[in-house]
Amino acid sequence: MDWLFERMIELAAWVAFIMGIVFLCDAIWMFALWVRNFGGEESIGYLTKAGQASASFVGSAVALGVLACIDRYVFDLAEEE
């Protein structure tokens, strides 16, 4: 059962990592669109979407860190002793 739980933690960490990359790319793209349309009608919408994507990136980075700590202190630390 420990093996399955450890694999699930690692899978969740990979998903958080990939989603973080997607959110980072989305934030960069929306920020570039905001710069390109600066002062236009939709510029505030692009900036809002860039902020939301940036917040999602930070959230996925925090989730990745939490999952790494779980993997380290629950599974890997017991193997070292």
pLDDT in tens, 6-52: 889 999 999 999 999 999 999 999 999 999 888 778 888 899 999 99
DSSP-derived secondary structure letter, 6: H
Within 10 A of 12 (CB to CB), how many other CB atoms are there?
A: 16
- What is the pTM for the complete model shown? 0.82
- Indicate the number of domains in the chain: 1
**pLDDT score recorded for residue 58:** 97
User: Tokens 């960069």 — which residue?
Assistant: 28
C-alpha distances (whole Å) from 75 to each of 20, 53, 62 are 24, 32, 19
Range of the domain at 38: 2-80
Quote the pLDDT of residue 38. 83
d(CA 63, CA 70): 11
